[in-house]
Each structure stands twice: as C-alpha cells, then as structure tokens.
Amino acid sequence: MTERILLLGGGGREHALAMAITSSDIDHELHAAAGNRNPGIARLADSYAILDETDTTAVVDHASEVEATLAVIGPEAPLAAGVSDVLADAGIYTFAPSRADARIETDKIWQREFMVAAGIDGCPTFETFNDAASAADYVDAVEGDVAVKPQGLTGGKGVKVTGDQLTNAEAATYIRDSGWDDWVIEERLIGEEFTVQAFVANGSVRPTPAVQDHKRAFEGDEGPNTGGMGSYSDVTAVLPFMTESDYTDAVDIIEQTVDALDDYRGVLYGQFMLTADGPKVIEFNARFGDPEAMNTLSILDADFIELLTAARDGGQLPPIGFDGRATVCKYAVPEGYPTDPESGARITVDESTIEAVNDRYADEPLAEAKLFYASVDERPDGIYTSTSRSFAIVGLAGTIEMAEAVAEAALEAAGDGVRIRHDIGTAALIEQRIEHMNQLRG
Ligand code: AMP
Ligand code: GLY
C-alpha cells in the first residue's frame, strides 16, 4: 500500500518534515498544502496546494481529493482552528493533537492550571486575570520581576519579561494598552533556556535531544523576541551547559504531562528554563519547534513514516535514535524582521555555494550543510520574502564548533536583503551559557 501523506504548512519546520517523510523506505506520496509556495517542499512533493491552513473545510476537502492516508500538521494555527479534529472525523489519521489537547499551547491560562491540577513538576508561581486593569494593577504592585503573558497565541511576540526588557510599571502600561483581557502573570525565571521535543502516541513517548533556540532578534541576545533566529544541539541529548540529570528531569516533566493528558498524539514540545533549582516549564507547544525541528529531524535515525503508521495502528512507537552529530541552524530573515519586516522583496539563495561547501568538507565524514526554505513564496520569476523568516542553513558535524563553521560557510549562499545572527552556535556564546549556569549554581 502507498501511504499518501498530507503535510500542512510551508515553513522551515515543514521543509524538514518533508525531508523526513521523503527519506522513508515505505512506499509513499507527499501532498503538500500551505499558504505559501515553499520551493524546498515543492521539489520534494508529489502535489502542492495553496490554501488557507486554518480553513478546516478547505483542508479536509483537499485531503479527500488526494486520498490522504495520513496527515501531518506543522504549525500551531491549524491546531487552534481544529483542523486535526476535522481530519480525524473524516477518517484521516492525523499526527497532531486535537484542538482540546492543543490548549496546552494555545491557552496559557489553561496550561498553567492544568500543570497545577495534575501536579506536574517545574511549574513557576503564577496568577491569572480576566481583565487587563486587574492584571496591570497587580504588576504595578508586585515585588520582583515577572513574565506577563497574554492567554492566547501571539506568535511568540506577546510575552514581556520585566527587569530585562522593561520595568514593572512599563509592563503594566503594556497590559493596559494591549487590547487583551486575559493574562498569566508569573515569576521571572532566571537561567538558560532549552527545548526538548518528543514524539507521542498511544501513551508512548520518544524524546529527542535538547536544543537551544535564540529568540532575540540581534547578536548578543539583544532586541525584540522573534519566532527563533537559530538553534543548536550537541552530539549527545544534553547541551554543554546542562547535566545529564537536567535532561532526564525535563523528559520526566514531558512524560508526566503526556500521562495527564487524554491520549495526546503528535509532538509535544517543552520549553524549559534551566534554573539553579533545575528545569522549570516556560511553555509547552503542541508541535515541533521552528527552528528546532530542523536540528532534530536532520539527525533522526528512524523511519519517519514508520513512526506515523505505528501511531495510527494504535501500538507503541518504535524506538528512535540519533546519528550522533552536532547541529547548528541559522535563519536568514527579511530586513526589519520582526518589527517591520520587508515583505515581498525578491531574494536569492545560491544553492551551488552549498554544494561547493559539501564538496569542500567531503573528507570530513560527519560534516554536511543543509538548506531549508521557510516563509518565502516561489513565483515564476524568483523567490519572495513574507513577513516571517526566509530560509535556514543547518550545519552538521562531529562537534558544535565544526557544525557552526560548516553553517557559516554555507551561509555565503545568501544574497542581499536578509539578516543572520552569526553568533549562534559560536564557541564564545556557548561559553557564556556555561559561565551563566556555573554562576547560578555556585
Ligand atoms: P513564550 O511565548 O511563552 O515562549 O515566551 C517567550 C519568551 O519569554 C521565552 O522564550 C522566554 O525567553 C521568556 N519567558 C517566558 N516566560 C518566562 C518566565 N516565567 N521567566 C523568564 N522568561 C520567560
Ligand atoms: N522556536 C520556538 C517555537 O517554535 O515556538
């Protein structure tokens, strides 16, 4: 039987998913659907439909048209719109949570209250508010730094942390002026952030290596928060500033969470702050991270479609492995991103540069550069930016340092009109992370 797989979403994460799907040994067709035409996915797919990813009717009609036997949803917006429920109702197994389970990402008040009710480790202290005035008054009066979070999805740009980006009084004004009513106000966690993602189905949990994303727009962690400028992972599951038991504590939190949810399926993403007291939960996402999916799926040593069919068939997920390489991912983003991105600009990616880098490193058995297209639109006369991230390079090698060098060499492929955080994955920045944790832990 041929598995006909519908892949929803057109970003870098979905290009990584398309690569994982099409490298399977199981007979398959890939049917892509997204709001933009991602040239990397288009090259791998048997068909490509342009549609509104949150339009449940359009998605389910298209899935029926291509006779999908499986569906994979990349982004959060379709989960919030209930696309996975509608596909499941149409009899198409969807490797993504129901809208109800996706509340772990889409509703920050629900998420914190769920953690408390289920007794899950690593929850910061918090208060919830259903009107902006009370939330703002609380922030004005409270002692100490806080994180202020609107209840719903804001593309990673609604959260503000006081003591760092702004004062409590400024945060109170931000809340009053925001137009949002519902808030979580929680203690500010101090430490180093990391991500652990896991494949989940039928109660089985297959964790993947820790990854560190870089949310701030500019080098040295300056500037506004973004969807993520780039990320790295090490040759083991643990990052250089963590201990093995920090990682297992994080995996334990993910397992507790899956146990407390009702038959969660898909990817569960834990965003952690490694504090002096161990990992605390910043948030959960109901999907792969972007950029983190590009790190993780590039080193996945398992057949992705076999994972999907095992999930659909109701059994345990097969064991998964990783190929033991370090990864460094750097995004190229439009000028002005994230506050005033230059959309609709034509950009170039010289793919022959990436091939030349791979030739140059041919003697280095583990080294490789991979290109992932993201929120760009391919038109007959070229590739155009949107308001979000344009493309990413992942460098892979036997050390983070070498992976970073490979990524930088391949980034020579970028033409004008994009910006890159060149400090991601550098020895200097990683040393700072290690120093920071050493200081906090005394
Ligand atoms: P979120 O949208 O929840 O991922 O938050 C965006 C960013 O805000 C996170 O990546 C953290 O850098 C920061 N953040 C969120 N919650 C906290 C917290 N309780 N303490 C410190 N920083 C936080
Ligand atoms: N990289 C953060 C996210 O995907 O939400």
The overall average pLDDT reported for the chain is: 96
Average pLDDT over residues 114-131: 98
pLDDT one-digit tens code per residue, 414-427: 999 999 999 999 99
pLDDT one-digit tens code per residue, 231-264: 999 999 999 999 999 999 999 999 999 999 989 9
Instruction: Say how many Å lie between the CA of residue 13 and the centre of ligand 1.
Output: 21
Q: Which atom of ligand 1 is nearest to the CA of 271?
A: 4
Instruction: Say how many Å lie between the CA of residue 274 and the centre of ligand 1.
Output: 12
Q: In 3D, which of 373, 361, 374 has the Cα closest to residue 404?
A: 361
pLDDT value of residue 156: 66
Q: Which atom of ligand 2 is nearest to the CA of 228?
A: 1
Tell me the two tokens of residue 26: 């199981």
Mutation choice for ligand 2 from 285, 329, 333, CB with most ligand atoms inside 8 A? 285
- What is the number of alpha carbons within 13 Å of residue 265 lying toward its C-beta? 25
pTM, to two decimals: 0.97
Burial 292-313 (b: 16+ CB within 10 A, else e): bbbbbbbbbebbbbebbbbbbe
Confidence of residue 437 (pLDDT cuts 50, 70, 90): very high
Domains of the chain: 3-98 (3.40.50.20), 131-181 (no CATH), 192-441 (3.30.470.20)
pLDDT value of residue 158: 87
Sign of the dihedral through C-alpha 15, 94, 272, 139: positive
Confidence of residue 442 (pLDDT cuts 50, 70, 90): confident
For ligand 2, atom 3: residue with the closest CA: 289
Biggest alpha carbon distance in the chain? 63
Ligand 2 in contact with 105 (CB < 6 A)? no
Burial 24-54 (b: 16+ CB within 10 A, else e): beeebbbbbbbbbbbbbbbebbeebbeeebb
Q: In 3D, which of 340, 333, 411, 399 has the Cα closest to residue 366?
A: 399
3-state secondary structure of 407: helix
Distance CA 434, CA 442 (A): 12
Question: Is pLDDT at 53 greater than 70 in this prediction?
Answer: yes
Q: Select the more confidently predicted residue: 57 or 154.
A: 57
pLDDT one-digit tens code per residue, 204-234: 999 999 999 999 999 999 998 899 999 999 9
Q: In 3D, which of 83, 81, 312 has the Cα closest to residue 201?
A: 312
Ligand 2 in contact with 12 (CB < 6 A)? no
Instruction: Say how many Å lie between the CA of residue 2 and the centre of ligand 1.
Output: 42
